[in-house]
Amino acid sequence: MTGKMNPVSVDIIGDIALVTIANPPVNALSQTVRAGLLDTIENIDKNRSILAAVLICDGRTFIAGADITEFDKPSIEPHLPDLIDRLECSTKPWVAAIHGNALGGGLEVALGCHYRIADFSSKLGFPEVKLGLIPGAGGTVRLPRIVDSVNAVSLVAGGKPIKAQLAAEWGLVDLLVEDNLKRDALNFAQQIASLPLPEPASKRPLINKLTADDWEAVLSPVSNKAHGQIAPVRAAETIRNAVEKPADEAFAAERNLFSELKNSDQSRALRYLFFAEKSASKISGSSSVDFMPVELVGVIGGGTMGTGIVTALLLSNHSVIMIERDETALEKGKATVLSYLQNSLKRGLINAAKHARLITSLTGSIKYKALANADLVIEAVYEDMDMKLDVFSKLDTVMKPDAILATNTSYLDVKRIAASTKIPARVVGLHFFSPAHIMKLLEIIRTDSVTAEVLSSCFLFAKRLGKIAIPAGVCEGFIGNRIMSAYRRECEYMLEDGALPQEIDDAMVAFGFPMGIFAMQDLAGLDIAWAMRKRQAATRNSNTRYVAIADRLCEMGRFGRKTGSGWYRYDNTTDTVVEKIILQESALKGIQRKSISAEEIIERILNTMRNEGSKILAEKIANRSEDIDVVMVNGYGFPRWRGGPMFTGKNLIP
């Protein structure tokens, strides 16, 4: 049962078989794992001296899912549903010993076992909907026979793993252990070995049945949150199907739907994005480059961006020094960070001990010399070049020579900032997205002079932060903001050409965006972009079409939600001001307005995104079209299940 190339090994300990899967890095259920496990089940059943089996995994995790690379290849036996059926029908009790993550097919294997134990730090879940799929190896049938149907819907349609303690409360885990999972699993197996063999999960009675009204209350929120994605809705419906139909029919229906979804455009897009994100942060040749350790980090600025960055740093176990212009601003910034940490504690993202430790990891000063020992400093002051140059001139005088100097600028020239310093080779752009402690995207802006060591260190730093890091060259707006600026202009052109803000926003929401461009501007505040436009006015090309509608709104004090009105009013009163301004601007330019359909609105937006993306690639600002898609999905709300504007242009018809 053992072999050098076999990822499944067996050790006989007394009368218990310890079955170990070793398929790094995440013990995915590849064909070799499935075949090895099936042979092991057969052999254990034949061995009369074995009374029970423990299934455990090497490395940092239990089985974290299927091998996604096999999805687009011809299926090779043994198929996972058949393997789990065989496991469930074993004549010996099987105990799944879970650490790390039991996800997707991994959790389905655990459900095929007769018992499940887990350490307190483990997580269990069905994330298939994130790939446009549902569980396809009996998960939707076995789960509601082990946990409450409402909880089953939550786990499968939500796609978010749950902690082991909650899994135990639901009945998904039979025993929680703290110290030695292998030892405790073997002891547990010894205890249950002499007991009658439990009923397989697929043959157990349902935990509960819901009424039609109950199902409506469960399914409606799933549909509302899906924003056009099919899989969450179908996943929830499949749970209902598994509850209301015999198990055999439910198994067949689940498998058919899994195959249907696997071949869908949405699943292809989501799988494409999964691999795009996985490879995004890899730099060619980086394995041969030295890394600079980053432990103590300074952040200049305690505003919205600065406090978000500080919080992200603390949550990733960095020590942080916040610098502000005066004590009042510093105390305000620190108070904001503490409120964010308190919220993380309330949400259960950190425990009380970590919360207390993180508070002590934050210090502040109004003097730059406090940064003398920092490994990295991130400038996050107002988006003004003169102000940023002043900050970097001060950093030049106090920072140690091997420290990394980073700017969080969203648009400005990082090359100019680097050139103003004594050591431009250590200057880089780290463009966080707000709120920085929540948003996962980070653009790493490379200049011509920055060293490979600095870049590699920044990517390693981003990984520790839990960010998806995308490399970008220097241009106004880099990747994301440059594309957003381009399609925002196109949306403004459509206002003059015949559309209204609500029509454009409605079309975008129907396409899958969480909100439209004008609602988003109201949320962010119109005054910020207005200030930038005023700074650019002197150098603006007079031959370029310029839409002044937003300027006129700002001149009226309509800065968005924070002032009660912007593109929209937020006091439930009727407002015709914006429409009148739009009509006036169209008339001033002699534009004959015409109706623009939702389909044309989306086509113009997508074409603009793709065209700007193509320019970005041609100019080598982005390395790959996949990087552009990752940026637009993770930073700008492009619907994930469409894969991104570059993918959509090549593969799907919107």
Q: How do beta strands 296-300 and 52-57 pair?
A: unpaired
**Angle (nearest 5°) at CA 100 between 205 and 8:** 80
Taking a C-beta distance cutoff of 8 angstroms, is the pair 232, 157 a contact? yes
Which of 88, 128, 492, 612 is catalytic? The answer is: 128
Question: What single-letter amino acid sits at 43?
Answer: N
In DSSP terms, 429 is beta-bridged to 407, 445
Mean pLDDT of each 10-residue bin along the chain, 654 residues long: 71 97 95 96 97 97 89 87 96 98 97 97 96 96 96 96 97 95 97 94 90 92 90 95 93 95 95 92 59 93 96 97 97 97 94 96 97 97 94 95 96 96 97 95 96 94 96 96 96 97 97 95 90 85 92 96 96 92 96 97 97 97 96 96 88 42
How much of the chain is helix, strand and coil, in % rounded to 5? Answer: 50, 15, 35
Look up the CATH superfamily of 8-263: 2-enoyl-CoA Hydratase; Chain A, domain 1 (3.90.226.10)
Q: How far apart are CA 643 and CA 272, in angstroms?
A: 7
Q: How far apart are CA 161 and CA 329, in angstroms?
A: 39
Confidence (pTM)? 0.91
Coil vs helix vs strand at 71: coil
Sequence-ordered list of residues with C-beta below 8 angstroms from that of 1, at least 6 positions apart, any chain:
8, 9, 10, 39, 40, 43
379 catalytically annotated: no
What's phi and psi for 432, nearest 5 deg?
A: -80, 160
In DSSP terms, 118 is beta-bridged to 98, 176
- 3-class secondary structure for 127-155? HHHHHCCCCCCCHHHHHHHCCCHHHHHHH
Class at the top of the CATH hierarchy for domain 287-472: alpha beta
For the domain spanning 480-620, the CATH number is 1.10.1040.50
Domain with CATH 3.40.50.720 in the chain: 287-472
Taking a C-beta distance cutoff of 8 angstroms, is the pair 497, 547 a contact? no
CA 170 to each of CA 174, 281, 291: distance values in angstroms, whole numbers, following the listed order: 10, 37, 44
Token pair for residue 595? Answer: 């109706």
Token pair for residue 465? Answer: 């932060």
Domain with CATH 1.10.1040.50 in the chain: 480-620
Token pair for residue 103? Answer: 């996800």
What's phi and psi for 256, nearest 5 deg?
A: -65, -40
128 catalytically annotated: yes
Rg (alpha carbons) of the chain, rounded to whole number: 28
Which of 70, 77, 88, 108 is catalytic? The answer is: 108
Domain with CATH 3.90.226.10 in the chain: 8-263
Q: How do beta strands 94-98 and 52-57 pair?
A: parallel
| Residue 6 pLDDT | 85
For 57, what's the count of Cα atoms within 13 Å in the CB-facing half-sphere? 29
CA 83 to each of CA 58, 80, 451: distance values in angstroms, whole numbers, following the listed order: 20, 5, 51
Coil vs helix vs strand at 634: helix
Q: How far apart are CA 411 and CA 396, in angstroms?
A: 22
Strand (E) positions, 270-355?
296-300, 319-323
Token pair for residue 539? Answer: 């150098």
| Residue 208 pLDDT | 87
| Residue 652 pLDDT | 43
Task: Count how many residues are written for the chain.
Answer: 654
